[in-house]
Amino acid sequence: MKNKFSAYWICQISGWAFYGMSYIFLAFVFEKGISALFVERLLLWTFMGIFFTHLMRATINSRKLLPPLKGRQWFELFLWVIITCFCYSFITSSIVEWFQLYDPKVKTTLTKRFISDLFYDSPIIIVWTSIYYVWHYIEAARKTEIDTVTMEAMIKELELKTIKSHINPHFIFNALNSIRALIDENPERARTAITELSNILRSSMQADKVETTSLEKELNIVKDYLELEHIRFEDRLKVEYDIDEDTLDQQVPPMMLQTLVENAIKHGISKQIEGGLVKIISDFRNDNHELIVQNTGTIEKVINPEGFGIASTLNRLKLLYGNKADFKIACIKGNMVEAKVIMPVNIYSIPILKK
């Protein structure tokens, strides 16, 4: 508030100083000099101008006439401008008359002086008000733009957090049942499974704290997930990895790969009597980072436009990368389904290859 007040007075004094200097310049150009009387009257006009425009500002603020104006507010503003112009002209001309700040050779009546000041000097009040409103309109537009950007950022953050908050493993109960069955027959594997489940849950809880994570970290969580699912599916689940090591440092949305793999298990492998294959591929292609999850199944059983796995992937890619990312899901090789995520390459994560 203090900064705005200081800025106002800097502009106010500077503007009226420019007004006074303009009059002095014109006097030198057209009258070849200035008199003491001219200086006194110019100081009076300037001081009264500062006083009445400041009073006008106070009136605008107290009457809540700042832009944007609507309906009768325009009429009220116009009325206050006219009143201020009349007051400025009347008091200024009266002071000139009382203190005899005029040339005795061209003495005129107070009424004529008032009318002259009203038509020739008071329009500066209208000019000042116009400049004041233009500045406020620009300030309001700038504030609106800033508020819009801030709101968009907040909405984006809330949407991301909302999406992430839903990305929780749906297999928890199945995993716990599998671990319970292992406690007696394979205690060591049961302890390992508890650690794997703990890693997945920890990663899920931390997902809302970051927008992206390295593929290597994401892949480790997915491997823990698949190890747990292997307890349930046993030989029905086969897993393959085709990972370009150069892509391990690439940034990806947290839990996104986990969601795609979970979707492949839920809608693909679990629907197959004999089980099937889940293959994870990561590579650089066409200046993009492609992350692919393939699984045994058919597109009819996998794709669900309203399903959270596909919807969350599409929404997160759009929020994080806009039009620079893409997501596709399609049938390949007859009995396989491929979910492909295409993301822009993070050049700072690409290792420098030695010659």
Q: Return d(Cα 252, Cα 255) in angstroms, integer.
A: 9
Whether 256 shows a pLDDT value over 80: the answer reads yes
Q: What pLDDT does 239 receive?
A: 94
User: E-strand spans in the chain?
Assistant: 213-214, 237-243, 251-252, 276-285, 288-296, 326-332, 336-344
Query: Could you report the per-residue pLDDT of 96-122, keeping only the tens digit for each?
Result: 888 888 777 777 787 888 888 888 888
Q: What pLDDT does 317 receive?
A: 83
Q: Return d(Cα 273, Cα 214) in angstroms, integer.
A: 35
Whether 341 shows a pLDDT value over 90: the answer reads yes
Q: Return d(Cα 221, Cα 224) in angstroms, integer.
A: 5
Q: What pLDDT does 169 receive?
A: 47
> Would the pTM of this model clear 0.85, i.e. be above it?
no
Terminal CA-to-CA distance of the chain, rounded, Å? 60
Query: Could you report the per-residue pLDDT of 290-300, keeping only the tens digit for each?
Result: 999 999 988 76
Whether 249 shows a pLDDT value over 60: the answer reads yes
Could you tell me if 222 and 258 are in contact, meaning their C-beta atoms sit under 8 angstroms apart? yes
User: What percent of the chain lies above the pLDDT cut of 90?
Assistant: 26
Q: How many CB atoms lie within 10 A of CB 235?
A: 8
What confidence category does residue 311 fall into, taking pLDDT thresholds of 50, 70 and 90? confident
Tell me the domains of the chain and their CATH numbers: 2-161 (no CATH), 167-349 (3.30.565.10)
